[in-house]
Structure 1
Amino acid sequence: MSAWSDFIASQSLAATANTPLLAHCDHLAVIRASGEEAGHYLQGQLTCDLQDIDHGAHRNGMHLSLKGRGLVSMRVVKSRDGYLLLCPADKAEDVIKALIKYRLRAKVDFQVDADAVVLGVAGDLEGTGLSVLPAAGESHCNDHTLALRYPHTEQMLLITHGEHAIKLWPQLAANRALTGANGWLCQDILAGEAMVFAGAEDLFLPQVLNYDVTGAVSFKKGCYTGQEVVARMHFKGKLKQRMQRIDYQAAIPLAPGQVVRDANGKAAGEVVISARGSDAHHALIVLRRDTDGILFADDQPLDSKLVGLPYSLPWKE
């Protein structure tokens, strides 16, 4: 085991926590994209615009199938020697396989950074003690730590390495509840920030995950795989469903890609992700616009309700 593994094993991490909190985000992996053509190559593979990222932003992005559905997703940020791609840890190899499929002779390489540590901070960001806090939706490198601040909520991801994480943890942990992956998934759900998790591959257009609201899909940049389908829906189509948040009381874990139904037994949508909170389960689910939030899973009532997101959904009439 590494020194970081030994250290984090000695910490008492609760399954759930209220803000302010510090989370060990071991459900996320970091992939390094390097090479002189890395930016150009990623621009032609992902839904987000690398020009925004080159100017200090961080964005979620999808790699799509030919029919415009997300196969894998990742959060992209510029690093000193290329780009970092944060993705679900159990999808890291799938991300690399998807991205190298069209590489041919392009001068770009992808490798999982096994020494990278991802931490999440929510609430009281001014109290983190970092020398510089990035603006909303932006990133900033503090010493050995790359900070990625969320655009709509008081949350921030920190990417560092094991040795520095051990030094940084006590500073960040002061006056914060400590939690792990489930605790941070709850924060992502509250923020309306979604990725493609195992089980939900090839299901969702970027827009239905609200990527058009969060800057994770561009309709102005050049072509990428699946772009024609995505653009056609944006300019000529009408979305009948979008990702929304529900809270529910039933003791049922909802799996990515799982179908949920309304009171009449009709399919109402598919689960993006769910997590157990301190007082309820939280979930992001792609739902029809007319859904009232009263949902069932396998004929079992979820005792659920719709809860607003921290941004507005641009439904088209």
Structure 2
Amino acid sequence: MTEPTSALFAPLPGRGFIKVDDEEAAQFLQTILTANIDQISAGGCAPGALLTPQGRILHDMMIYYCSAVSDAGSHFIIETDGAGLADLFTRLRRYRLRRPVGLRVVEDMTIWLCWGAPFDVEGVYHDPRHQSLGYRWLGQGDEMPPFATIATRGEITQWQALRIAAGVPEGPIDLTPERALMLEAGLDMLGAVDFEKGCYIGQEVTARTHYRGLVKRRLVPLRLPAGVPPTPGTEILLGEKAVATTKTAAKTEGGSLCLALIKLSDLHLVLDGAAKLQIDGSPADLVIPDWMQPLPNPARTDKAG
């Protein structure tokens, strides 16, 4: 496709990359990560995570299956938050033991994103989490993405606003390491965990939470009026009581958006009109995306406030 589109593109900074290859690469990843590696098609990608044995998120990631003419050249690229790259690499090496699996940090790689219009370009990965998030492309060095000739250079903050509006968490601000749970973040509904694939690290706790309906909180988008987006960690009030803090945020044309992890009982109070949320003295409106509705009912033991 060579005709110009209304799409925008930009690099996503702050990311790190690990190449996983050799004969048991897929089997190795299948036994430790939440994603079903066997279901990622050649030239496709999927979100996933590495958990603690207690089911808490250590590292969220996007996993790419990079196909080649021969199976010997096929490999996986794990894209994750750059600040946690060294820790993730150390953990993967620890779990590898003596298996024939190659692990290597890829130093000179950039992830480019393109959003705002559909197109068909070879070698581009479709972001499976939400249709508004568009496409991804892995580049080496100073390479420009193939969609650069049909899209206009944008700002990554524009994509971040779309991500937050879609309720899609990404990185350690949204998913606090060793505290965040897959189901509270909605990652089960975003394709980052497969309950049918068998064992992986943290599988028992994650499956029990799923089948018993033990989720008490939900990561949701909030919309604020015009102003500077709140700094991560800003208090969120329900009436006069602090009930949560903000996570990633981005400016929009009509104000700003942020993500927040809030108790389901408090969310239902807001949805029922019995209470309102505030951030820095300004009203904060729930903007629940379609895929997240309806929100689960709170557990009987979950009290609001």
User: Per the shorter chain, which TM-score range?
Assistant: 0.7 to 0.9
Give the aligned partner of residue 306 of structure 1: 286
Percent identity over the alignment is 23
Give the aligned partner of residue 223 of structure 2: 247
2:140 corresponds to which letter in structure 1? Answer: H
Give the aligned partner of residue 186 of structure 1: 161
Matched, 1:158 2:151: no
Give the aligned partner of residue 225 of structure 1: 201
Q: Structure 2: state its 5+ residue gaps.
A: 1-5, 68-73, 298-305
Quote the Cα distance in structure 2 between the aligned partners of 1:95 and 1:305. Answer: 36
Deviation at 1:242, TM superposition (A): 1.3
When residues 247 and 101 of structure 1 are mapped into structure 2, their CA distance, relative to the original with a 3 A threshold, is farther
- Deviation by residue 1:204-234 (Cα, 9 ceiling, x = unmatched): 1111111111111111112111111111111
Contact 1:46 1:61 in 2 (8 A): yes
Residue 66 of structure 1, aligned match among 40, 50, 53: 53
When residues 259 and 67 of structure 1 are mapped into structure 2, their CA distance, relative to the original with a 3 A threshold, is farther
2:106 corresponds to which letter in structure 1? Answer: D
Give the aligned partner of residue 137 of structure 1: none
Quote the Cα distance in structure 2 between the aligned partners of 1:258 and 1:114. Answer: 34
Deviation at 1:315, TM superposition (A): 3.8
Quote the Cα distance in structure 2 between the aligned partners of 1:85 and 1:310. Answer: 29
Residue 106 of structure 1, aligned match among 87, 99, 110: 99
Return structure 1 stretches of 4+ with deviation > 6 angstroms.
none
Question: How many residues matched?
Answer: 276
Deviation at 1:148, TM superposition (A): 2.5
When residues 195 and 151 of structure 1 are mapped into structure 2, their CA distance, relative to the original with a 3 A threshold, is closer
1:36 corresponds to which letter in structure 2? Answer: E
SS of the equivalent of 2:143 reads helix
Matched, 1:89 2:82: yes
Q: Structure 1: state its 5+ residue gaps.
A: 1-18, 132-141
Deviation at 1:55, TM superposition (A): 5.9
Matched, 1:273 2:266: no
- Deviation by residue 1:43-83 (Cα, 9 ceiling, x = unmatched): 11111111111466422111111221101110112012211
Give the aligned partner of residue 115 of structure 1: 108
Quote the Cα distance in structure 1 between the aligned partners of 2:55 and 2:293. Answer: 20
Matched, 1:204 2:180: yes
Residue 125 of structure 1, aligned match among 114, 118, 125: 118
Counterparts of 1:131-150 in structure 2, within 5 Å, are 131=121, 142=122, 145-150=123-128
2:161 corresponds to which letter in structure 1? Answer: C
Query: What is the CA RMSD across the aligned residues, in angstroms?
Result: 2.6
- Deviation by residue 1:143-176 (Cα, 9 ceiling, x = unmatched): xx4422335323111222235317x364043xx3
Give the aligned partner of residue 8 of structure 1: none
Quote the Cα distance in structure 1 between the aligned partners of 2:20 and 2:194. Answer: 20
Contact 2:56 2:178 in 1 (8 A): yes
SS of the equivalent of 2:62 reads strand
Contact 1:152 1:311 in 2 (8 A): no
Give the aligned partner of residue 263 of structure 2: 288
When residues 97 and 276 of structure 1 are mapped into structure 2, their CA distance, relative to the original with a 3 A threshold, is farther
TM-score by length of 1: 0.77
SS of the equivalent of 1:101 reads helix
1:71 corresponds to which letter in structure 2? Answer: L
- Deviation by residue 1:237-269 (Cα, 9 ceiling, x = unmatched): 3322211111223535332x66634223142x4
TM-score by length of 2: 0.80
SS of the equivalent of 2:292 reads coil
Matched, 1:171 2:164: no
Give the aligned partner of residue 300 of structure 2: none
